[in-house]
Chains A and B, each alone.
Chain A
């Protein structure tokens, strides 16, 4: 696939979904907004990784239930290979642990397929602008994850009181702007808090993998 000329300012998106009807619909919605250009499509996880490396989009919009390579695995490999590429999950029926896993391995947001076209476009633009898109239910999941952690070891990064407060307000359905007004902060500060929460969640995932590796003796170089 040859690199297409990039029209000024339009966000370049790769759409990954195994249902062609959905891909077409999403593509139409995104392009109708005028601010998004769909630079590629993929129908399964393996294809998604390849296309992401080929097209270097600003954002990969993907379903989680995919053939060949699972959504979470594809996200992990895309984010590992190209850290600047953002990933937004768009799913109809993903189970809670899958959604949490997707965020842990690098997705910057989660949206239900029942979201309106306007919500979808807004979410895409926000994620590309560096703003994590958390639904209330995802915030509750993340809150639960950190609860579990704080009940366990202290060696891993937990949330500050302020971060917990922000996360709780997201779970209650407040927008970042509303949270900022409520807590007398700037919207940017609220975004930073959410970004830090996300970073800690990913760090935890890395700690988890490292601990696993050490337990299994995988940290030692072979003789």
Chain B
């Protein structure tokens, strides 16, 4: 059972798998009953030794069927079915031989074994469907008649009741084989149909999810990327028709395309993850901030998504925004990089530029009107229980680092 979708085992499939076990139990029960009958009536039999030999053979066969039972896979092979049928036919005929003449119809003597062959009819039904069950039942019924003949009865001389009883025995085999065959087919079919239905519904829901994702992607692309492409296309044509081209005009187009490139990449970069409740990804927020900045975009790198309480993410992003504004205003930098990580007990965010740098002198900075911004940033970090560090010197760029204790952030969340 390794068909696709087989993981969704239905009750029908389980029932179908249990059928062979049930038949095996039936074999042992009928075999035990046959043994009991044989013990009780040994003295009445014509050929008790033959009865015991037949019993031993049936026991050996049943034992082998039990031990060599495949764990799963297709039902019994045709040779196995035929041997089984032969043994049951043999049992029925032997029943005719070992009993005293007339014992079978007269109910005066013993009946050796007609129970075990039922299991054979049922096995055929389970393995080969209604048709198989009927064939086996017919053969066994015929054996029943032969058994009577062998027993020494004159079949023509049977009374109506006796004839009906014989026919009833034969019909029992037919019915047992056919009913179990029908049952097995129904179980098989419902298992297959259920699996098919489950597969179809899984496919449908996967398709729906894909379509929804595609639709939301398409909307985002339509909103920003397509519009920008249209703009680049239109302005590009206009510029090429204008003859003389302003460098600044082309730069604006490049910026437009660059912004969309970054937005689209952010969309493709990683699998979207569900945010834990009340939290937001600091990395995603910083990337969004970087895209919204005018001029050369800062690179953002972060170790992991950094899920922090939403309020804390907003505060940190606000601090980084101020730092970036500061860079744009004063640093004359070529490259700006934002880095965020969480080590054992701190969330660290740094903004680093390769610009002109400055001398860390509060008085001079106050005089230049730069102190307010720095103090505002420091205030945000301290509000989160953290610190701000400025590492700069003239000519070697500036690094501003916000360092906030992680457990402090969790406490703030708990207060909320």
Q: B-contacting residues of A (Cβ < 8 Å)?
A: 92-93, 95-97, 112, 114, 135-137, 139-140, 143-144, 147, 168, 171-174, 178, 181
- Judged by a CB distance under 8 angstroms, whether B233 is at the interface is no
Determine the chain B residues whose CB is within 8 A of the CB of A181 once the complex forms: 396
- Judged by a CB distance under 8 angstroms, whether B409 is at the interface is no
Determine the chain B residues whose CB is within 8 A of the CB of A172 once the complex forms: 301, 337, 339, 350, 352, 399
In the complex, the answer to whether A173 meets B341 with C-beta atoms within 8 Å is no
CA separation between A92 and B341, bound complex, in Å?
25
Determine the chain A residues whose CB is within 8 A of the CB of B268 once the complex forms: 93, 95
In the complex, the answer to whether B341 meets A140 with C-beta atoms within 8 Å is yes
Chain B contact residues: helix, strand, loop or mixed: mixed
Given contacts A172-B399, A173-B335, A173-B339, contact A137 B303 (CB under 8 A): no
In the complex, the answer to whether A135 meets B299 with C-beta atoms within 8 Å is yes
Determine the chain B residues whose CB is within 8 A of the CB of A144 once the complex forms: 303-304
Within 8 A of A (CB), among B330-374: 335-337, 339, 341, 350, 352, 354
CA separation between A95 and B339, bound complex, in Å?
19
Within 8 A of A (CB), among B43-63: none
Chain A contact residues: helix, strand, loop or mixed: helix
Partner of B261, one of A114, A137, A139, A178: A114
Determine the chain B residues whose CB is within 8 A of the CB of A174 once the complex forms: 352
Partner of B300, one of A137, A147, A168: A137
Given contacts A136-B337, A173-B336, contact A143 B303 (CB under 8 A): yes
- Judged by a CB distance under 8 angstroms, whether B258 is at the interface is yes
CA separation between A77 and B299, bound complex, in Å?
32
B264, B339, B350, B397: which has the most chain A beta carbons within 10 Å? B339
Q: Name which residue of chain B comes closest to A173, CB basis.
A: B337
Q: Name which residue of chain B comes closest to A97, CB basis.
A: B270
Q: Name which residue of chain A comes closest to B335, CB basis.
A: A173
CA separation between A97 and B268, bound complex, in Å?
12
Q: How large is the interface on B (under 10, 10 to 19, 20 to 34, 35 or more residues)?
A: 20 to 34
**Smallest CB separation, A216 vs chain B (Å):** 21
In the complex, the answer to whether B301 meets A171 with C-beta atoms within 8 Å is yes
- A sample of 30 cross-chain residue pairs with beta-carbon separation below 8 angstroms, ordered by A number, consists of A92-B261, A92-B265, A93-B265, A93-B268, A95-B270, A96-B269, A96-B270, A97-B270, A114-B261, A135-B299, A136-B337, A136-B339, A137-B301, A139-B301, A140-B302, A140-B303, A140-B339, A143-B341, A168-B339, A171-B301, A171-B339, A171-B341, A172-B301, A172-B337, A172-B350, A172-B399, A173-B336, A173-B354, A174-B352, A178-B354
CA separation between A140 and B304, bound complex, in Å?
8
Given contacts A93-B265, A173-B337, A174-B352, contact A114 B303 (CB under 8 A): no
Determine the chain B residues whose CB is within 8 A of the CB of A178 once the complex forms: 354, 396-397
CA separation between A174 and B262, bound complex, in Å?
21
In the complex, the answer to whether B341 meets A137 with C-beta atoms within 8 Å is no
CA separation between A195 and B50, bound complex, in Å?
88
In the complex, the answer to whether B303 meets A147 with C-beta atoms within 8 Å is yes
Determine the chain A residues whose CB is within 8 A of the CB of B269 once the complex forms: 93, 95-96
Determine the chain A residues whose CB is within 8 A of the CB of B301 once the complex forms: 135-137, 139-140, 171-173
Given contacts A92-B265, A172-B337, A173-B339, contact A137 B304 (CB under 8 A): no
Determine the chain A residues whose CB is within 8 A of the CB of B271 once the complex forms: 95
Determine the chain A residues whose CB is within 8 A of the CB of B264 once the complex forms: 93
Given contacts A93-B265, A114-B258, contact A136 B396 (CB under 8 A): no
In the complex, the answer to whether B265 meets A173 with C-beta atoms within 8 Å is no
CA separation between A92 and B95, bound complex, in Å?
85
